[in-house]
Amino acid sequence: MEKKHSKISIIGAGMVGAAVAFSIATQRLASEIAIIDVNTDKAEGEALDISHGLVTMGSMDIHSGSYAEDVADSDLIIVTAGLGRKPGETRLDLAAKNIGIARDVCANIMKYYKDGVIMVVANPVDILTYVIQKESGLPMGRVFGTGAVLDSARFRYLLSTKIGGDIRNVHGFMAGEHGETQFAVWSSVHVSGMRFDSYLSKRGIEVDKDALVQEVVTSGAKVIKKKGVTNYAIAAVVAELANTVLKDKKSIFSVTSYLNDYYGIKDVSISVPAFVGAEGVSQHLLYDFTDEEMAKLQYSAKQLRSFIDNLKI
């Protein structure tokens, strides 16, 4: 049975945080949305702007908030606070700058935390998810990040454009780092249940798989170069994950979370298929990766682990 009252706190009222709040509100996913930011005027402005459209959405309590007043009774805490990626920067370039912000956010959350799930959106999401999971001291999986869910959405979009089909019929996912070492899990790709290669063969379609994956990897940088930020697609992804948490759906997503022993991968947060629900990530799915895919996952994890070691986290 769903709770009668559900609450989401969003840490950060920047372009991403505001888009996340709007996406959640338009879908009426929570009874209450609190927007928390050091710039209280910005948080209040975003809350008011969204609230002025409630006539089209229905009754919700959308307001600016604070850690002390809103964290304790939140079902979901979404962390978007952090500096954005500049043109030419990789997600990992952001780490040194955003780790300090993540630690401060985590410390403030834990002063008042009682229950609920923490979803990390800020980049580099794999590193920050690792930091917050470790420093919060919460049970493993209670903290997870959006990870490769956005990459998977981009992947499916690009696949649908290449084959000229309905994106809802195209399935598949990305895994690994939310960044340069991510990879396509081609063994998962199918079109309405038909294996992707078979579908292409029967329809006489050719797809350059390597070029398509590279397009996925560079999608974020392309958007940032053209408009300065990526915020709408990630907001849509966060709303879907929020709905999954609040309704305890235990849906499978390629999110980033702490791995203790996933095919031998330990002490790193990286995206693999996982069951997402009211407790966050409750279990990782031991997906049947091909040998090539497993090698790519191991490489991605090794690169992230090396980066964590260099930062001395």
pLDDT at 33 over 70: yes
The domain ranges of the chain are 7-145
Distance of CA 173 to the CA centre of its chain: 13
pLDDT at 4: 75
252 strand-pairing partners: 275
Name the CATH code of domain 7-145 (choices 3.40.50.720, 3.90.950.20, 3.30.413.10, 3.40.50.150): 3.40.50.720
171 catalytic, yes or no? no
DSSP assigned state of 142: S
Which residue do the tokens 């696949």 mark? 159
pLDDT at 297 over 60: yes
**pLDDT, tens only, 78-135:** 999 988 767 676 656 778 889 999 999 999 999 999 999 999 999 999 999 999 999 9
* 48 neighbors 32 (Cβ within 8 angstroms): no
Share of the chain above pLDDT 70, in %: 96
Output the pTM of the full model. 0.94
**pLDDT, tens only, 207-246:** 999 999 999 999 998 999 999 999 999 999 999 999 999 9
* 270 neighbors 179 (Cβ within 8 angstroms): no
The region, left, alpha or beta by phi > 0 then psi within -120 to 50, assigned to residue 14 is beta
Q: Which is catalytic among the residues 52, 178, 190, 284?
A: 178
Share of the chain above pLDDT 90, in %: 89
